[in-house]
Structure 1
Amino acid sequence: MIVVTAAGGPTGTAVVRALRARGERVRAVVATPRPRPELEALGAEVVAADLAGDPAPALAGADALYLVWPNFDPREADGAPAVLRAAARAGAARLVYHSVLRPQVRSMPHHAAKDRVEEALDGAVAGTSARWRVLQPCAYADNLDAQVAAAAGTGELRSPWGLEQAQSFVDLRDVAKAAVVLLTGDGLDSGTFEAAGPEELTAPDVAGLVGEHLGREVTAVDAAPPEDDGSYARRCLTTMFAEYRAHGFTGSPRVLTALLGRPPRTYAEHLRG
């Protein structure tokens, strides 16, 4: 049994789908007890649990855990190590933590939280037979899908990360496939694996590819990022876009290529579906 947390979100659902496609038994852990037809249709066992509470019932009988923490949740730095410890003590042999590319950039609070979780991994498995692995994805190409849809009508691609710096957008399907490899493959223990797309694209580059896909001219427009309103989530977004504007968010595709056994999807391939 493989347990996937935050399974109601895009990442968790994609990992559940990829695991079920290869016939793995999956327990999909969600935050609230309401119908989850998208997960039930995949044949996953759906369990509601508060990751910051008592995760033990959701982890019972797990052979492996894929730990996704909900986005921009201030409890991650303390809560994720606690879940990893609970899974190790429950007998899960393989723990895979969904981190982020460059967690050491501590100007972004959500990156800093993931860096602290990675730091706690050895302690989380100490005294057990569990071993850990880490996946560090770049920004998802899928995050731009709503802007692409809007650009079909407006001819503008609004970019809160500015117009000059590039990102190595990665297709979520490739991230999910890499997660499956880490959950099921041998020889990967104590490894940290980056998952970056194959191209470094600025917003104008993306707009050009979107325009080709839509069959119309699309222009990248510098859009103001959200202002910090004092909340943790907004502070994460504000500092994230400030980092992207200053330095971009790029990485090498070599590790993801090795995990997939093929090059990651390009952004044009993502647009084609």
Structure 2
Amino acid sequence: MIVVTAAGGRTGAAVVRALWSRGERVRAVVGSGRPRPELTALGADVVPADLTDVAAVESLLAGADALYLIWPNFDPGEATGAGALLAAAGRAGVGRVVYHSVLRPQARAMPHHAAKDRVEEVLDGSGLRWRVLQPCAYADNFDGQLTEVAATGLLRSPWGLERAQSLVDLRDVADAAAVLLTDEGLDGGTFEAAGPQPLTAPQIAEHLGARLGREVRAVDAVPDGPVPPPEDYAGRCRRLMFDHYRAHGFIGSPRVLEALLGRPARTFADHLDALELPSGARELR
């Protein structure tokens, strides 16, 4: 049995789906007791638990073959909370832990990256059998903008127009996670998951235009005002992240991901081809 935390989020749900496709039995730990039909349809044992309640989570880990540890995004308690769950995993006798980190966790200009770097350090000294997955920004991050982009022909880019991102399809991230959770010979490894094309906002807009059947132009959406204060942790993280992307981009190599998958990584165009078009849009071919 494999435990996946934060399984109610899009990353956790994708990992559950990838494991289901391999015939694995999954316990999906979610943050609330509301129905999760998307997970129960995959045969998952869906259990609500507060990840900061270490005793409750530890009881869910007993006898687990593996744990995929995702901490909710932009949460100021990640370094402490994830560290406590790693200790719980050790006490529960979990066979293997895979931690969902981020590409470039050592980039301490972004607090949520630095938190994951600290968790990786704890993991290294935990005595557990571990692997780490470090995904780049998701191609899926643009899915929610399709309707607006189709209507306006504008793609707003808070990271500017010049720097690129190596967008990775979440399905590839989930498939890589499934490999790390189930395959032998990978313990102690840190694995980057970056897409195959470094794309600037104008290049992303071009792909969106081809998919939507209209011209799309990228516009520089420069953030307003100062960086939010530390007490607004999520807002501060988002702003510093986009400021970092504006200055440096966020790119990586797909070679490690493709080695894990045993196939080419999906391109951004591949990702868009799988999406349902907004009403009124037409695909150019």
Supply the distance in 1 between the matched residues of 2:75 and 2:258 (Cα, whole angstroms): 30
Whole-Å separation in 1 of the counterparts to 2:145 and 2:224:
15
Q: Percent identity?
A: 71
- TM (norm. structure 2) is 0.92
Give the match for residue 98 of structure 1. Answer: 100
User: How many Å apart are 1:59 and its aligned residue?
Assistant: 1.3
Q: Distance in 2 between matches of 1:118 and 1:239?
A: 21
Aligned pairs for 1:160-171 (under 5 A) are 160-171=158-169
Tell me the residue number matched to 1:158: 156
Deviation readout 1:76-115 (Å, 9 max, x if unpaired):
0111111112112211111000000000000100000000
Of residues 188, 191, 194, the one that matches 1:190 is: 188
CA deviation string 1:222-250 (max 9, x = no partner): 11337544300001001000000000000
- Contact 1:81–1:124 (Cα < 8 Å) also in 2: no
Shift >6 Å, 4+ stretches: none
Answer whether contact 2:228 2:239 (CA < 8 A) is retained. no
Instruction: Say if 2:44 is the partner of 1:53.
Output: no
SS of match in other structure, 1:193: strand
Aligned positions of 1:35-114 closer than 5 A: 35-54=35-54, 55-114=57-116
Instruction: Report the 3-state secondary structure (helix = DSSP H, G, I; strand = E; otherwise coil) of the residue aligned with 1:111.
Output: helix
Show the counterpart of 1:23: 23
Matched with 2:267 is 266
Name the counterpart of 1:115: 117
The answer as to whether partners of 1:147 and 1:158 remain within 8 angstroms in 2 is: no
Distance in 2 of aligned mates of 1:58 and 1:32: 15
1:10 equivalent in structure 2: 10
User: What is the TM-score of this pair, normalised by structure 1?
Assistant: 0.96
The within-5 A match list for 1:250-265 is: 250-265=251-266
Structure 1: state its 5+ residue gaps. Answer: none
Tell me the equivalent position of 2:141: 143
Moved more, 256-265 or 55-64: 55-64
TM-fit CA distance, 1:52: 1.2
User: By how many angstroms is 1:132 displaced?
Assistant: 0.4
Range moving further from structure 2, 86-95 or 235-244:
86-95
Q: Output one character per residue of 1:12-66: Cα deviation in whole Å (capped at 9) or x when no partner.
A: 0000001011110000001112211111111100011111112212212211000
Cross-structure match for 1:241: 242
Root-mean-square deviation (Å): 1.1
Secondary structure at 2:93's aligned position in 1? coil
> C-alpha separation between the residues in 1 aligned to 2:68 and 2:223?
31
Aligned residue pair count: 269
CA distance in 2, matches of 1:85, 1:93: 13
Local SS of the residue matching 1:244: helix
Whether the 8 Å CA contact 1:226–1:238 is kept in 2: the answer is no
Amino acid at match of 1:48: P
User: Structure 2 counterpart of 1:64, which letter?
Assistant: A
Which secondary structure state, in structure 2, belongs to the residue aligned with residue 120 of structure 1? helix
Aligned to 1:102, the other structure's residue is in SS state coil
Q: Is the 8 A contact 1:62 1:87 kept in 2?
A: no
Q: Deviations over 1:177-203 (max 9, x none)?
A: 000000001110000000000000000
Q: Secondary structure at the match of 1:135?
A: strand
Deviation at 1:148, TM superposition (A): 2.5
AA at the equivalent of 2:177: A
- Residue type at the aligned position of 1:69: W
